[in-house]
Every structure is written in C-alpha cells, then in structure tokens.
Amino acid sequence: MKNPASQNSNRTSDRAATLPTADEETGGATGALAVQQPPPSLQDSSGQSDVPHPGTCGFKPVIYLKAGCPYCFKLRLALLEAGLMDRVAFQEFDADTQEERHIRTELSRHFFALSFPTAEIAPGRFEKGSDALIQHFLRDSGRSASQLTTLQAYLKGPFVQLTGLSPVTH
C-alpha cells in the first residue's frame, strides 16, 4: 500500500512543474506589461500611428472622443481642470465618418456595447463612460470630481441642457 503523503508530494511536484514561470506569466519584456503601439489598423500606411507614442517612460492612455459629445467634453474638462491632460493622448473623431466607423470596429472587440468616451487605460485594458474614466484618472491625483468647480458648473448648466438629464453632483 502506498503512503498517501508521498502521493500528495508527487502531485504537488507535478503541478509545480506545469506552472508558468514568472516571466511566462507576465509575458516577459514583450508581454502585457510592455509598451505597445496601437493596433496596426489604427496606424497609417507608413506604419505611423495617429496616436502619439508613449516613449520610453511607459504606456500613455489613449482616450477616444467623439467631437461634440457632451460626455466626451465632460471627461476632457475634468482632465484639464485636474491638470492631467499631458498624461493622456486623445484620438478625436467626427460623427458619421469613415474614421468613426474604423475606430468603432477596432474598439467593439473589447465591449458588448460601445459608447464614448472610451479609453485604453493600460495596454489591452479598455474602459468606457465619462464617470468611470474621470474616477480612474483622478484616483492618483488625490482629487475628486466634486472638487473640480468648473466641471461641476458644466454638469449643472450646459451638460443638463445638452443631455436633458438632471444635474448630478459628484
């Protein structure tokens, strides 16, 4: 009769042998944690991206904005007032254009229902919605949306008129 303890140690060593190494788990230097260019479909024919390259200091989030969208303006205003504009890249497009259709095709792979604003907040990690994105970008700044007085004025005035929604204070 075999010793159950020795059977368990064999299972443990077998399992350990099949676990990925730390380098495999993170993808190594070229994996998910590495700086990545936008997908080829968002680059022009020369291979150049419409989105500024983040450089050697790391990934720079890309925010996709529809021109004239009150929700997109809300996010842009929050970033401006919080002094965070230099930490993101913007990809703005006009409604009902080939560019919008192209961006929608690319981004719809990441969402069941796509809306704008949408951002790639980390390589391969996407988030949508003005409130969620404002919260995400303000998190490390130590400020909240309720402290942004110009944003609050926009939410209580023009935003209400443009959307027909009642004012919401953050």
Cis peptide before 117 (omega within 30 of 0): yes
Q: What phi-psi label fits residue 83: left (phi over 0), alpha (psi between -120 and 50 degrees) or beta?
A: left
What pLDDT does 169 receive? Answer: 55
Strand partners, 64: 91, 118
Question: What pTM, to 2 d.p., does this model score?
Answer: 0.65
pLDDT at 1: 54
Residue 17 has what pLDDT?
Answer: 46
> In this predicted structure, what is the pLDDT of residue 68?
95
Give the Å distances, CA to CA, from 88 to 15, 96, 130: 42, 25, 15
Domains and CATH numbers, the chain: 40-163 (3.40.30.10)
Model pLDDT, residue 27: 40
| Exposure on the CB side of residue 113, measured as CA atoms within 13 A | 1
CA dihedral (95, 120, 111, 69) in degrees, to 10, reads -30
Structure confidence at residue 154 (pLDDT): 96
- Residue written as token pair 């990925």: 20
What is the rounded end-to-end Cα distance, in angstroms, of the chain?
68
To the nearest 5 percent, what fractions of the chain are helix, strand and coil?
A: 50, 10, 40
pLDDT, position 168: 58
Per residue of the chain (170 residues), give pLDDT as tens. Answer: 555 444 544 444 444 444 444 444 434 433 344 344 445 555 445 444 444 444 435 899 999 999 999 999 999 999 999 999 999 999 999 999 999 999 999 999 999 999 999 999 999 999 999 999 999 999 988 899 999 999 999 999 999 999 987 765 55
